[in-house]
Structure formats: C-alpha cells, structure tokens
Amino acid sequence: MLQLHFREMGQGTPLVILHGLFGTLDNWQTLARRWADAGHRVIVVDLRNHGRSPHAPEHTYAMMAEDVRGLFDQLQLGPDTTLMGHSMGGKVAMRFALDNPERLRQLIVVDIAPRFSDMRHQDDVIAGLNAVPLATLQSRQQADEALAQHIKWPDVRQFLLKNLYRREDNSFAWRPNLAALTAEMDDIGAEITAAQPFLKPTLFIRGGKSDYITTEDKLHSIPALFPNSQVETVVDAGHWVHAEKPEEVFQLVKAFVEQ
C-alpha cells in the first residue's frame, strides 16, 4: 500500500476524485474547486505511478484500490463519502466500491465500463513518451516535436506534456512511472469482476462521441455489477468529458451527490 499524494478543499460531505491514465489531480482542479464552493469536502488524488504519488513496479486495480483505502483511513473518511473516477481512475473506483461497499455512500464513474479494455490504442502514446530525449531535452517545444512523431492530436500532446517537469538540476523528467506503466498496460485494461454487486447508487457519465461505454455495456456489464446505476450521456463530448464539457459534468455530479 502506497501513501498517495492528494489535495483537499472545502467542507461538507466528502467527494474523492481519481484521475485517468497519464493524468494527475491537476486535471480536476477547476471542477473540484466548484464542488468545494458548492458545499463539499473535495479530495483530488494522484494515483500510484502518477503525479506526485510514489512509484512502484506493480500497477493492478487491487493494489490501487488498496492505496485508496489507505487514504480513506488516513483522512478518516466515513460512509457518507462519494468516490468518483475517470477512465483508469473509474476502474479503481469500481474495484474499491466492490471491495469496500460499507465505506461509500455512492459511486460515480466517468467514461469507462467494467469490461476488459484493449489497451493497444495507447501504443502510440507509450511510444511518443518514450521517444522524448529527456537527457538532451532543452525545451517543452522540443518535447512536443518528439511526441508529434507518434501522436498527431495537439490536445493529447498538451495533456501529456503536463506531466513533464524540471528537476532541481534543471534536467527534464516525466512524473508518471513510464517503465511500470509500459510493462503493466495489460493490467490497466483488465476487466473488473466481483462475486457480489455494489448495491448503492451509482452514476455512469459517458461522452456521446466516446466508445468507452457502449450500448452493450449499458445493458449487461454495468447493471451486472452495479444494479442501482444510471448512465447519463454528455452529447458532443469525447473520452475527456470533464475537460470538454465541464459545466455539464459539474451539474450532473452536483445533482447526484445532493439527491
């Protein structure tokens, strides 16, 4: 179990937020502040091998859920807590809810289903990140040019470049544990299974232009594990629903948490 880096704001009923693959807690800062202003104690978290949290060679959902359990213990979070996760963080949140149902009031999952995800679509991202010549890198512009050889979408490159930072000696480094994430990519795609379903209220938020939650998932894989769930679609949003349509996500989460 690793001790996770987190940031906390606001007071009221707790809302814990987990980012996706190659993300950090910063991805949720703006929305987190708004939910805090709306009367919630919001805790944004860096998952293991991401952001400012510790690195480890293992990167399984069981271990990541254990890390989150350690954080719940550390912050003495009670059963009135809502846990929310996006993409990989959504699978961590599902794993945690299924393993520790008594620790949550409800669950929110953003644009991911419990089924197995083929992670080959991340091959270009992994190749791009590993192609950036950190040892000789002079600028972020150079890093973007190296990434562009593998990733043609500027917005994806900008998202990834948020992980690039300067060490004290002025050299560049990546915040994510690239070696571990490259080695464990199959585990990141793993299906979430459980002997018993999570019976408490669950909200799935999907992007209308994303295929991470399909009609098949809405009919089968989601209700099998989360029978007390609803799926809300944000039209004209892709996989990064919260970045593309923050107002819609803000309102959906606020209404669900306050119901």
Contact yes or no for 204/241 (Cβ under 8 A): no
Q: Please enumerate in sequence order all residues whose Cβ is within 8 A of that of 9, keeping only pairs 6 or more positions apart, or say none.
A: 32, 33, 36, 41, 42
Q: Pick the catalytic residue: 5, 59, 239, 242? A: 239
Q: Pick the catalytic residue: 50, 53, 86, 87? A: 87
Active site residue 221: no
Active site residue 86: no
Contact yes or no for 3/48 (Cβ under 8 A): no
R_g (Cα) of the chain, nearest Å: 18
Written as six digits, the tokens of 259 are 């119901």
H-run or E-run covering 243 = helix 241-244
Q: Residue 253's closest CA among 236, 237, 235, 230?
A: 230
Catalytic residues: 87, 239
